Amino acid sequence: MPTTISKKKVLKEWKLYLFILPSFLFIGLFAYYPALSAVYHSFFSWSGGDTKEFIGLDNFSRILGDTVFWGSFATISVLAIANVFKMIPSIFLAVLIHRLSSERWQYWYRVLVVLPMIVPSLVTLFIWKFFYDPNFGILNQFLDATGIKTLLVGLDHFFHWDIFFQNVPVAWLGESALVIPALILWGFPWIGSVSVLVFLVGLQSIGSQIYEAAELDGVSSFQKFLYIEFPLIMTQVRVTLVLLIIGTLQSYGLQFLLLGENGGPGGRGMVPGLWMFNRAFIAGEFGYACALGLCLFVIILLLTSLNNKYVRVDK
């Protein structure tokens, strides 16, 4: 009898292998092969066609002196720090939804959080580009209607920014000094649907007896968040932080659609991914772009390792 059970278990195991194997074949074809191809072509002078010339480490030597590439990390660092702070509204919204006593209202609020995911991200980007329009954009209309524009003009006169002027529309994407603030402001109020759902999963794993003990001790709502909820969702925060860092360093779609392939006025919105795109599809230097991608991969891997080392989760 034990032998029969063992044979069935082995057979079931082999069936799992047979189902898993095709999945990895597709992963290898559509994920690993392009990545390995990029590594291979990073050692060539290649313009995307059939002809290429082996140049060894010349592309990587060129990266060391690429001031645009390394300068773009100043921009992406500011955006990455801003994105870390943008996690805060998602965490607080998840906590508020979790604390609702009505399961029905919890459900409907989760639905409302998920609904924006239905809108394609490309459409969202174009809507925000319209928001920043100097003549018809909602942002400038809001500043004029609330009187904030007058306050900004006053601050401009005091600090000598030479950015905000009375009766002159604010060129959010046409003024180099405003490019970074515009990129940071994008996505306001910074509620990430996926992030809220991830944090909710962590919050729902907290046992009710913990909250009961806290209430008996007279713990306030903020203390509950500070000493119970936030420490117990650090696993989710850590995962979200890793994905955020990777996504921020890799992304360039926002900058490309809002500012163009050169990163806007003075290249102020240039980020590593956009520079890689620029070299490949504007300059036709696909081999060099592959080398830039490989360098970016190493930097992301290093930052991810540092995150895993220093952002610890104490159980």
pLDDT digits 0-9 by tens, 193-244 = 888 999 998 888 888 888 888 888 888 888 888 888 888 888 888 888 888 8
pLDDT band at 273 (very low <50, low <70, confident <90, very high): very high
CB 288: neighbour CB atoms within 10 A? 27
**Residue 287, domain member (yes or no):** yes
Average pLDDT for 108-123: 83
- The percentage of the chain sitting over the pLDDT mark of 70, rounded to a whole number, equals 91
Structural domain boundaries enclosing 259 = 60-117+197-309
- The percentage of the chain sitting over the pLDDT mark of 90, rounded to a whole number, equals 32
Torsion, CA 288, CA 294, CA 299, CA 300, rounded to 10? 130
DSSP one-letter code for 233: T
Residue 109 has pLDDT above 70, yes or no: yes
**Residue 162, domain member (yes or no):** no
Residue 31 has pLDDT above 80, yes or no: no
**Residue 174, domain member (yes or no):** no
pLDDT band at 309 (very low <50, low <70, confident <90, very high): confident
294 near 204, Cβ under 8 Å?
no
Residue 255 has pLDDT above 80, yes or no: yes
Distance CA 35, CA 28 (A): 10
**Residue 303, domain member (yes or no):** yes
256 near 269, Cβ under 8 Å?
no
**Residue 242, domain member (yes or no):** yes
Q: Which phi and psi angles does 52 have, rounded to 5°?
A: -155, 155
pLDDT confidence of residue 82: 93
Higher pLDDT, 79 or 310: 79
Give one word for 137, left, alpha or beta, with left for phi > 0 and alpha for psi -120 to 50. beta
Q: Which phi and psi angles does 238 have, rounded to 5°?
A: -65, -45
Q: Report the amino acid identity of residue 227.
A: Y
**Residue 283, domain member (yes or no):** yes
Residue 12 has pLDDT above 80, yes or no: no
Which residue, 269, 227, 234, 237, is CA-closest to 252?
Answer: 269
Whole-angstrom CA distances from 248 to 4, 78, 137, 266, 279 are 53, 10, 26, 21, 19
pLDDT confidence of residue 160: 87
Residue 287 has pLDDT above 90, yes or no: yes
pLDDT confidence of residue 132: 92
Residue 104 has pLDDT above 60, yes or no: yes
pLDDT band at 1 (very low <50, low <70, confident <90, very high): very low
CATH of the domain at 287: 1.10.3720.10
Indicate the number of domains in the chain: 1
**Residue 314, domain member (yes or no):** no
Average pLDDT for 65-89: 92
pLDDT band at 20 (very low <50, low <70, confident <90, very high): confident
Residue 119 has pLDDT above 80, yes or no: no
**Residue 52, domain member (yes or no):** no
Mean per-residue pLDDT over the chain, rounded: 86
Distance CA 203, CA 230 (A): 9
3-state secondary structure of 54: strand
Average pLDDT for 49-69: 90
- Can you list the alpha helix ranges (DSSP code H) found in 99-190? 103-114, 121-131, 138-146, 148-159, 176-185
Q: Report the amino acid identity of residue 64.
A: L
